Amino acid sequence: LTARSLPSIQSDERLQPLLSHLSHSYVGPDYSVQKNPGKISLEQIDALSVKSFPLCMRQLHRALRDSHHLRHGGRMQYGLFLKGIGLTLEQALEFWKKEFIRGKVDADKFDKGYAYSIRHNYGKEGKRTDYTPYSCMKIIMSNPPSQGDYHGCPFRHSDPELLKQKLQSYRIPPSGITQILELVKGMHYQLACQKYFELTHDVDDIGFSLNHPNQYFTESQKLLSGGRELKKEFNNSGNFQQKNNSQESINSSSTPTSSNATADTELEGLEAYFTED
């Protein structure tokens, strides 16, 4: 309800200082602890990226598969998201190493230049802090992408025409694209992502306020595994087809924990370690 009220209250100058402060604060689940770590296999990631990844993570995954490399901002945003959906450290090292080797990075360079940062994300190096996935507000408000980057929020950082083309390629109906672009024009980026969820899952109302990419994934998996009745489901190519029975899916629910008040500070410290592209 609060998210849907933002269009009317953002114009109230009395609320601007409060909204400005809230935009840098995230007090929901931090997704640092997985209920079933390792339950997601590396072979499932491609299919999951089509069915259950928010657009920001779907974009990063596609860029990684196409170019076999992501720059620092993309590795941080996507790597912590994968950690949050249940990838173990061993799986993460295998996933990134295989992909980078397919590009211009040999095994020795990966072990010396990239593996440390992955272990650091999992609290196995440096301060041994359990770093948490980025919330929507952190993605929207900090570290905007530059040329050659694929991180950030597509609803916030993409050119509207390029965003429209991307949504068309994912077979979002024209009326849905119009609704999303109107929300983007009004700078309601999280509401645009909620509309994307509704359109890709064929539901009229998601029934929750979306504020975290890992929340998007968890709610999608609940829905696709029979948590709610779905009219349609994805086939292997990412299109919809009629559905009679609940689609079985992996159990990837995260166990919420209380938010760490120093999370942003810790993440800033972590980012200082990894500036190599």
Residue 41 in domain: yes
The token duo for 150 is 């694929």
At residue 235, does pLDDT exceed 50? no
72, 78, 82, 88 alpha-carbon torsion, rounded to 10°: -10
**Where does residue 31 rank: exposed (0-12), middle (13-18), buried (19+ CB within 10 A)?**
buried
Q: What angle do CA 12, 135, 169 make, to 5 degrees?
A: 95
Residue with the bigger pLDDT between 99 and 6: it is: 99
Q: What is the pLDDT of residues 109-133, one digit of tens each?
A: 999 999 999 999 999 988 888 889 9
Mean pLDDT is lowest, of 35-44, 76-85, 244-253, for: 244-253
In this structure, the strands spanning 232-234 and 240-242 are antiparallel
Please report the DSSP string for the chain in residue order. Answer: -HHHHHHHHTT-GGGHHHHHHHTT---S----SBSSTT-S-GGGHHHHHHHT--HHHHHHHHHHHHHS---HHHHHHHHHHHHHHT--HHHHHHHHHHHHHTTT--HHHHHHHTHHHHHHHTTSSTT-----PPPHHHHHHSS---TT---S-HHHHS-HHHHHHHHHHTT--HHHHHHHHHHHHTT-HHHHHHHHHHHHHT-S--SS----HHHHHHHHHHIIIIIS--SEEE-TTS-EEE-SSPPP-----B---PPPTTHHHHHHHHHHH----
Number of domains forming the structure of the chain: 1
pLDDT, position 233: 41
pLDDT, position 265: 46
pLDDT, position 155: 98
pLDDT, position 26: 55
Residue 219 in domain: yes
CA distance 135 to 29: 10
Q: What is the pLDDT of residues 89-100, one digit of tens each?
A: 999 999 999 999
Mean pLDDT of the residues in the chain: 81
Residue 259 in domain: no
CA distance 190 to 118: 28
CA distance 115 to 119: 6
What percentage of the chain has pLDDT greater than the value 70? 70
CA distance 212 to 30: 9
Mean pLDDT calculated for residue range 76-100? 96
Residue 14 in domain: no
pLDDT, position 240: 43
Q: Which domain, by its residues, includes 94?
A: 31-224
Contact 67, 277 (CB under 8 A): no
| pTM for the whole structure | 0.74
Residue with the bigger pLDDT between 60 and 269: it is: 60
Q: What is the pLDDT of residues 151-181, one digit of tens each?
A: 999 999 999 999 999 999 999 999 999 999 9
pLDDT, position 129: 85
Residue 199 in domain: yes
At residue 10, does pLDDT exceed 60? yes
pLDDT, position 19: 62
The token duo for 64 is 């990684």
pLDDT, position 220: 96
Residue 270 in domain: no
Residue 132 in domain: yes
At residue 264, does pLDDT exceed 90? no
Mean pLDDT calculated for residue range 57-63? 98
Residue 144 in domain: yes
CA distance 128 to 122: 8
pLDDT, position 9: 67
At residue 241, does pLDDT exceed 80? no
